[in-house]
Structures are given as structure tokens and as C-alpha cells.
Amino acid sequence: MSVATDASSAYFGWRYHHPHEAEDPSAIWGAAWRAGGRAAMQDSSRLVELVPLLRELLYLLEDGAVEDLVRASDRRPAPAFDDDECEVQW
């Protein structure tokens, strides 16, 4: 079974395989409901795969390693602030 790329192609694929049910609005609604449930479960399974990556990123942010790397990669000259004036560059 091939995976549909979008909702319209999924509908027309279903309609091709179920020509008589495509004439019944309740059958169309039921098929759309089931397809939405399957899509939600697939999306949820993809989110579960992101949890370890997000946890690792959180540890790096809490550790300060990311901020240190960003500050180290900044090659701009350090600002010379006076108490009386502020320099604005465009």
C-alpha cells in the first residue's frame, strides 16, 4: 500500500478503491475520520522520536554549552558603552 502525499490524493485513492461507497456521504465521513485517526497516530509516533533529541538539547542549554559556543563564535568587537551615550549601528 502506498502512502498518500496529501489529503486530496488520499481521497481520490480511496474513491478509486471504493467507487460505490464514494456515493454515500456517511461512508466518506467515516473514511475521513479513520484516515485522520491514522494520521494523528503517525504524527504522534514521530513526536515520540523527537523526545531524546529535545532532552539532549535541554541539557546543553541548561549546561550553558550552547551559549558559550554562540558567544565564542561572535566576531564583532565588544561594545564600548559609556554611561552618557549609546552607539547605534544600522
Read off the pLDDT of residues 30-42 as tens digits, 9 standing for 90 and up.
888 888 888 888 8
* Confidence at residue 64, expressed as pLDDT on a 0 to 100 scale: 81
In one-letter notation, the amino acid at residue 29 is W
* Confidence at residue 4, expressed as pLDDT on a 0 to 100 scale: 45
Query: How is residue 9 written as a grid cell?
Result: 490524493
The alpha helices in the chain, defined as continuous H runs, are 7-17, 25-63, 65-73
Tens of pLDDT along the chain (90 residues)? 445 456 667 777 777 887 777 777 888 788 888 888 888 888 787 888 888 988 988 888 888 877 888 888 888 887 666 555 666 666
